[in-house]
Amino acid sequence: MPLAAIFRPAANFASKVALLVVVAVVSIGAAFWWLWPRMDYARHVRAVVAQPVPFSHQHHVAGLGIDCRFCHASVEISSNAGLPPTHTCMTCHSQIWTNAAVLAPVRDSWARQAPITWHRVTDLPDYVYFNHSIHVAKGVGCESCHGQIETMPLTYKAKTLTMGFCLSCHRNPAPHLRPAAAVYDTAWTRGPETPSPMALMQVNHVPDRELTDCSLCHR
């Protein structure tokens, strides 16, 4: 008398499907694990950071033509570009929009003599050293790291600012350099009269070596 089969023929098909599902799940999980940290979403690129006052670079820079250094006064002399103290805001807003509800935090800060707590948009890890003044002095425009900030009604992080992003410029800085007069010019474009990238390297005294040394950014 023949023995009864333990598994039906359909079990072969089911086992193959199960194996394919397991392989697919593992593959998708590994791909997600690898891709997630590299996605703009995970790095908060183009994500608007809520601020105590909804400051518009589009209005102040592109609309009114205010120079970056009016608010970021230490950008040429310090590693930190600096944020404007309340009296900088009140230079104008003690005369215009004096009762605007949106500016109530500014007036309150002025009355209490307490600084406004702005939230960082392009924060870097503590183990990374970045110096604004040296980049500005060498002809790197604000746009290189901050993107088209003059078009932003609300400020967001425009670039990834990853190690790879920084190294891509440090390995070949010439195409990213501008004449000194154009560093803060948000409308600047390279034209026929612009010195060549290699000429700007020489004019701005940018070395063509050691820009990828670990100690430059990790101190």
Mean pLDDT of 142-161: 95
Mean pLDDT of 66-76: 96
Tell me what pLDDT residue 6 has.
72
Tell me what pLDDT residue 157 has.
95
Question: Is residue 177 situated within a structural domain?
Answer: yes
Question: Is residue 159 situated within a structural domain?
Answer: yes
Distance (Å, rounded) from C-alpha 107 to C-alpha 143? 31
Q: Are residues 19 and 126 in the same domain?
A: no
Count of domains observed in the chain: 2
Distance (Å, rounded) from C-alpha 106 to C-alpha 112? 10
Q: Are residues 34 and 132 in the same domain?
A: no
18 — pLDDT class (breaks 50, 70, 90) = very high
- DSSP H helical segments within 36-141, as ranges? 57, 68-71, 86-93, 104-112, 132-137
Question: Is residue 104 situated within a structural domain?
Answer: no
Q: Residue 7 pLDDT more than 80?
A: no
Supply the range of the domain harboring residue 194.
Answer: 57-83+118-217
Distance (Å, rounded) from C-alpha 163 to C-alpha 27? 27
Q: Are residues 127 and 183 in the same domain?
A: yes
Q: Which residue has the tokens 């002025």?
A: 110
pTM as predicted: 0.83
3-state helix, strand, coil in the chain (%, to 5): 45, 5, 50
